[in-house]
């Protein structure tokens, strides 16, 4: 009798322990799957009456930005990120009644980033310079933002490896760009190339290079994201 009681007690204890372990296991698994999918805002610069930079052949920056941004969205979604675009066509973000449309446009982009609780934002732009020989993509981050800096470095390296092997540019800090200054999450601006360089413009107009650039930015970002994740864990 004594042994049976003891065995019953032990069995009970074992059951309790097992139940506990199983429920801990469950909640752990729940936590793993319930981890919120981070929202990435992909921001195609300019739009509407604001064409952005204009190439020597008349290429408008806003259109190249949109093409690369849409492709970047697809790549990021395929990697499991939730993507919110600031625009998916030529519709600008400024109010027609706004006295300073450019300011209003940028303000609304930042408001969108905040309203969707974005974890990261990636703005796509094209550059221009007085010297037509200058070329090559460059990634900018907000001065003092450690996360922005690491993300910019990873994307710059992705571009060098996957899209623009001759690119010797280094990701760069900036303290005045409106988007970098006002976005409420780690953000970068990717200047994918120079529309003042006819050869680079020609490349940027092709679907093949737009795709390559989008995949390179995506790969760089994903590398950054997973490295940051490991540090967190
Ligand atoms: Zn621009």
Pair of tokens at residue 62: 């806003």
* 63 CA from centroid of ligand 1 (Å): 11
Is there a contact between 82 and 37 (Cβ–Cβ < 8 Å)?
Answer: yes
CA of 189 to the centre of ligand 1 (A): 9
Question: Rounded to whole angstroms, how far apart are CA atoms 189 and 179?
Answer: 8
79-83, 189-193, 214-218, 226-230: lowest mean pLDDT where? 226-230
Q: How far is the CA of 86 from the centre of ligand 1 (A)?
A: 14
pLDDT digits (tens, 9 = 90+) for 78-113: 999 999 999 999 999 999 999 999 999 999 999 999
Q: Where are the domains of the chain?
A: 1-35, 36-232
Whether residue 205 has pLDDT greater than 70: yes
Q: How far does the centroid of ligand 1 lie from the alpha carbon of residue 150, in Å? A: 22
pLDDT value for 12: 58
The alpha carbon of 126 and the centre of ligand 1 are apart by a number of angstroms equal to: 5
Whether 207 and 213 have beta carbons less than 8 Å apart is answered as: no
Question: Which residue has 């989008």 as its token pair?
Answer: 214
- Full-model pTM: 0.84
pLDDT value of residue 229? 74
Mean confidence (pLDDT) of the chain = 89
Report how far residue 85's alpha carbon sits from residue 63's, in angstroms, rounded to the nearest whole number: 14
Structure letter (DSSP) for residue 138: E
Separation of CA 30 and ligand 1 centre (Å): 43
Q: Running DSSP on this structure, what letter comes out for residue 145?
A: -
Statement: residue 15 has pLDDT above 80: no
Give tens-digit pLDDT for 39-73.
Answer: 999 999 999 999 999 998 999 999 999 999 999 99
Q: What is the pLDDT of residues 170-183, one digit of tens each?
A: 999 999 999 999 99
- What spacing in Å lies between the alpha carbon of 3 and ligand 1's midpoint? 81
Q: In the prediction, which pLDDT does 150 show?
A: 98
What is the model's pLDDT at position 11? 58
Short-list 2, 56, 210, 31, CA closest to 124:
210
Measured in Å, residue 125 CA sits from the centre of ligand 1 at 4
Work out the average pLDDT over 6-17: 57
DSSP conformation letters of 49-114: TB--SB-TT--BHHHHHHHHHHHHHHHHHHTT-EEEES-SSS--SS-TT-SSHHHHHHHHHHHHHH
User: What separation in Å is there between the alpha carbon of 4 and the centre of ligand 1?
Assistant: 80
For 36-232, CATH gives 3.40.630.40
Residue 33 is given by DSSP the state H
The label of the residue with tokens 């310079």 reads 129
Residue 139 Cα to ligand 1 middle (Å): 13
């Amino acid at each position: 009798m004594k042994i049976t009681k003891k065995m019953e007690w032990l069995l009970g204890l074992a059951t309790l322990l097992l139940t506990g372990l199983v429920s801990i296991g469950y909640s752990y698994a729940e936590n793993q799957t319930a981890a919120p999918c981070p929202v990435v805002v992909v921001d195609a610069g300019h739009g509407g009456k604001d064409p952005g930079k204009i190439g020597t052949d008349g290429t408008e920056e806003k259109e190249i930005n949109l093409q690369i941004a849409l492709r970047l969205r697809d790549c990021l979604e395929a990697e499991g990120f939730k993507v919110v675009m600031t625009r998916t066509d030529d519709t600008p973000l400024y109010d027609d009644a706004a006295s300073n449309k450019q300011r209003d446009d940028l303000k609304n982009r930042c408001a969108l980033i905040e309203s969707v609780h974005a974890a990261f934002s990636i703005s796509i732009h094209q550059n221009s310079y007085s010297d037509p020989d200058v070329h090559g993509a460059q990634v900018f981050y907000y001065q003092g933002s450690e996360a922005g800096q690491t993300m910019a470095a990873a994307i710059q390296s992705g571009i060098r490896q996957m899209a623009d092997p001759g690119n010797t540019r280094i990701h760069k800090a900036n303290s005045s760009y409106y988007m970098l200054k006002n976005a409420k999450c780690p953000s970068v601006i990717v200047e994918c190339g120079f529309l003042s360089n006819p050869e680079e413009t020609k490349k940027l107009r092709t679907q093949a290079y737009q795709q390559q650039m989008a995949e390179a930015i995506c790969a760089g970002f994903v590398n950054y994201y997973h490295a940051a994740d490991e540090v967190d864990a």
